[in-house]
Each structure stands twice: as structure tokens, then as C-alpha cells.
């Protein structure tokens, strides 16, 4: 099989994949967003995943014209798979990408899905879409693979350094996909026995992390009531050789806060009710409420009648990345805006291009005044590199500081009330 590769979806996953494959093969990068294609043609990645000099030297051809797809025979699908407002899987972009590819699919072509899905989705939903549209038969006229993406936005690891799991619709195509990825993945490639296993492995990886963080979050709620410092407990517990080093925090992003709902949805479809998975999600979803209620019950709030000014540092879903998708910080903002507080947000990393105007208008380069409350929601390195005096300039003398991950150390605490998870 010739290796003319088209990557469909050029976000945090698709672009690095296209750039890496283009070192060895003819690669087309397709995205339906004309704006995204235009910026990439100017060698600019607004997500800050790929540096300008790498884009300049890359051989990827970028296009938003779907007709270009007919020249290619291997399609890598890397579009987002979010959830709807009712937490059910939102497959709109995945189905659309599949239908687009099906228009131009030729006999013996291969489609490899990287988008995160629940176990069985590729075979139950996507393959039937292709077969219906093309009248082709799987493993006779076309082939399918699944290789879950493992890129973490903001991490500096090259995609080649992240071990890859691959699978295919039959043994021959599985081996072909294995060798295809082996060309770019230095960390190694693991061949799963079937597509369902590969789908399940990705979703379980993120559920495991979500559940472990929820345990730390629940523990932090208990410890706070007992007037125990959670992070001091963790320091002590980490002296045991097999203690897992998870910490409490806000859980957002496109994977960890989404994938458990995909598993829950599938479990319910087969008559099962998730317990640990759902419990963990509920705890993590409610941590914003915990943070905000603790601020409004703090003594420095109660004794300050003019307490109105909130400064939030960090908007992205985690530190040192530009990705704001499903960030829990939006909920913090909404909580205080709904109660008529004045809110300003600092974030030197965030990608503002797709933000709702409501939030974009709150973002400032510097706070306009001293704050009654400072929330260090996302500890970007830029915030942690500030001098203590820089923080004092932002704060009123009797302010509340909620340092979510307990990253700040003040020698001069003044009359601050400092809280953390």
C-alpha cells in the first residue's frame, strides 16, 4: 500500500501528527476551519504545540478544500469528541469527518481513528457510516484502524517520545498500521488485539486519573474540616514507596473531564450503572463550588463589607498550556459574576481566539486595582516566577488568597487569609 497520508483535524493532536509523518511520507493536513489553515500557511500555530521554525521546514500541505482528499489513501482522523450539555457523547465532528472521507474513499484505502471514543463505537457507528455511504465492504474494499491519541497539551514531549497503541480491522492491516507508526514513534508501538481493546485502553487511562484526583479532592474536603493541611499530609504519605503521587485540583480539559462520561454512557447502554466512575466525576465537578463557598465563608470576607474585587490568575485547564477547553475556571468566573462581584483575569498562556466574548472581556494584562480576593487557579510558570513584592502590589492588606495547588510561599503575610485545597 502506498503511503499518501491525510490528517483530518489539525488541532492539538492532528498538527503534531501531520508534521511528524511528513518527515517520511507525503502528507496533507485538512481542517474545515479556513482560519486555522490560513494561520498554518503563515507558519503560526495558535495552540503553541509546534514552533514556527518547525512549520517553516515542514513538508505538510495544508488545505480546507475537501476535494484534495481524493489524492490520498490513508486517513488519520483526529477531530474532537466532546460531550453535549447532558453529558452524552457529541459525535457531530467525528461523524462529519467520516462522511467527508467516505465521499472520496477508494478501494483499499485505510482510515485510522485517533479521536477518543467509547469501546465499540468505531465498529458500531463509524464503519457502518462508511459502508452505507460507499457500498464498500470492510476488509475487502476498505480497512479501518484505531490508535488512541496520547498527546497532553502543554507538555513539551515530542509525539515520537510517547508510546503508541495501535489496532486494525484484521491481522494484516494491524501489522501495516504497526509498521506505519513505528516509523515515527521512537518510544515504541504496542499492538492491541482488536479495535475495542485500543478504544477501551485510552478511555481507561483518563478515567483512572480522574478517579485518583477525585480521591485527593474528597480527602482535601475532609482534611479542611479537620483543620489539617492536605499538602502536608501528602508530603508525609509520599514517603511510602507505593503511595501514588496524585494531588487535589481542578479537573478540566478535553480528555480527563470528558472520557468518564463516554464510559458511563456505554455502560448504561448495556444495562450497567457506573459507581466509582460517576462518584469521581461528581466530586471533581463540585470542586469549584467548594472553593467558592470557602471564600465566601472566610473570616476576611465576612468582616469586609466592601469586598467586591476578585482577581483570577490562570484560565486554561492546566498550567503551562494554552488550552481553555472545559476549564473549571470558567465556573469560578460565573459564580462570582452571578453574585455581582467585579472579576478580572490574568493568563499569559491562554488561547483567546475561541473564547466567548463574555470571558474575553475580563482578561487583562495587569489588574486595574488591588484585589479583595486573589485566586491562583492555574499556576503557570510566569506566575510562580513573580517576586513576593509583585503579589503584594496586587492585593489589599486584608485580602483572601485561594492558592488552589498551594504553590505560593509568602514570608510577609500581612493580614492575608491564605486558603488552598
- CA angle, corner 24, sides to 183 and 31, nearest 5? 100
- Cα separation, 78 vs 163, whole angstroms: 17
Q: What is the dihedral of CA 103, 126, 146, 1, to 10 degrees?
A: -30
Is 324 among the catalytic positions?
no
Reduced to 3 states (helix: H, G, I; strand: E, B; else coil), residue 340 is coil
Which residues are bridge partners to 230 per DSSP?
A: none
In the structure grid, which three cell numbers stand for residue 372, read together?
A: 479583595
Q: Are 203 and 146 in contact (CB under 8 A)?
A: no
**Residue of 255, 292, 324, 373 marked active site:** 255
Q: Which helix (H) or strand (E) holds 207?
A: helix 195-225
SS (H, E, C) 20-66: HHCCCCEEEEECCCHHHHHHHHCCCCCCCCCCHHHHHHCCCEEECCH
d(CA 273, CA 62): 44
Rounded to whole angstroms, the Cα distance separating 248 from 302 reads 26
Active site residues: 255
Amino acid at each position: 500500500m502506498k503511503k499518501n497520508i491525510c490528517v483530518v483535524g489539525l488541532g492539538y493532536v492532528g498538527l503534531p501528527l501531520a508534521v511528524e509523518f511528513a518527515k517520511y511520507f507525503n502528507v496533507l493536513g485538512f481542517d474545515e476551519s479556513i482560519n486555522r489553515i490560513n494561520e498554518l500557511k503563515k507558519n503560526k500555530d495558535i495552540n503553541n504545540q509546534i514552533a514556527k521554525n518547525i512549520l517553516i521546514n515542514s513538508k505538510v500541505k495544508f488545505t480546507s478544500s475537501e476535494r484534495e482528499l481524493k489524492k490520498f489513501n490513508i486517513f488519520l482522523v483526529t477531530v474532537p469528541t466532546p460531550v453535549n450539555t447532558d453529558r452524552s457523547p457529541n459525535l457531530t465532528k467525528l461523524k462529519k469527518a467520516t462522511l467527508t472521507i467516505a465521499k472520496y474513499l477508494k478501494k483499499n484505502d485505510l482510515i485510522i481513528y485517533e479521536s477518543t471514543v467509547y469501546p465499540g463505537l468505531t465498529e458500531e457507528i463509524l464503519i457502518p457510516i462508511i459502508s452505507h455511504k460507499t457500498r464498500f465492504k470492510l476488509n475487502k474494499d476498505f480497512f479501518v484502524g484505531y490508535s488512541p491519541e496520547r498527546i497532553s497539551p502543554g507538555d513539551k514531549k515530542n509525539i515520537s517520545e510517547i508510546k503508541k497503541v495501535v489496532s486494525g480491522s484484521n491481522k494484516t492491516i494491524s501489522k501495516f498500521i504497526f509498521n506505519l507508526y513505528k516509523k515515527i514513534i521512537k518510544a515504541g508501538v504496542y499492538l492491541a488485539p482488536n479495535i475495542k481493546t485500543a478504544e477501551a485502553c485510552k478511555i481507561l487511562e483518563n478515567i483512572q486519573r480522574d478517579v485518583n484526583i477525585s480521591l485527593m479532592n474528597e480527602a482535601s474536603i475532609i482534611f479542611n474540616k479537620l483543620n489539617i493541611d492536605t499538602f502536608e499530609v501528602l508530603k508525609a504519605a509520599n514517603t511510602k514507596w507505593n503511595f501514588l503521587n496524585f494531588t487535589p485540583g481542578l479537573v478540566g480539559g478535553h480528555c480527563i473531564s470528558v472520557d468518564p462520561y463516554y464510559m458511563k454512557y456505554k455502560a448504561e447502554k448495556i444495562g450497567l450503572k457506573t459507581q466509582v466512575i460517576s462518584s469521581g466525576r461528581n466530586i471533581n465537578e463540585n470542586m469549584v463550588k467548594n472553593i467558592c463557598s470557602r471564600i465566601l465563608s472566610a473570616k476576611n470576607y465576612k468582616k469586609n463589607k466592601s469586598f467586591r474585587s476578585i482577581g483570577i490568575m490562570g484560565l486554561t485547564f492546566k498550567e503551562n498550556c494554552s488550552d481553555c477547553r472545559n476549564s473549571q475556571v470558567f465556573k469560578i468566573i460565573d459564580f462570582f459574576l452571578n453574585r455581582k462581584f467585579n472579576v478580572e483575569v490574568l493568563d499569559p498562556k491562554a488561547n483567546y481566539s475561541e473564547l466567548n466574548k463574555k470571558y474575553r472581556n475580563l482578561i487583562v494584562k495587569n489588574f486595574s486595582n488591588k484585589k479583595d480576593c486573589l485566586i491562583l487557579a492555574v499556576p503557570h510558570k510566569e506566575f510562580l516566577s513573580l517576586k513576593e513584592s509583585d503579589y503584594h502590589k496586587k492585593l489589599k492588606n486584608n485580602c483572601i488568597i485561594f492558592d488552589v495547588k498551594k504553590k505560593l510561599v509568602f514570608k510577609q503575610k500581612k493580614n492575608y487569609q491564605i486558603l488552598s485545597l
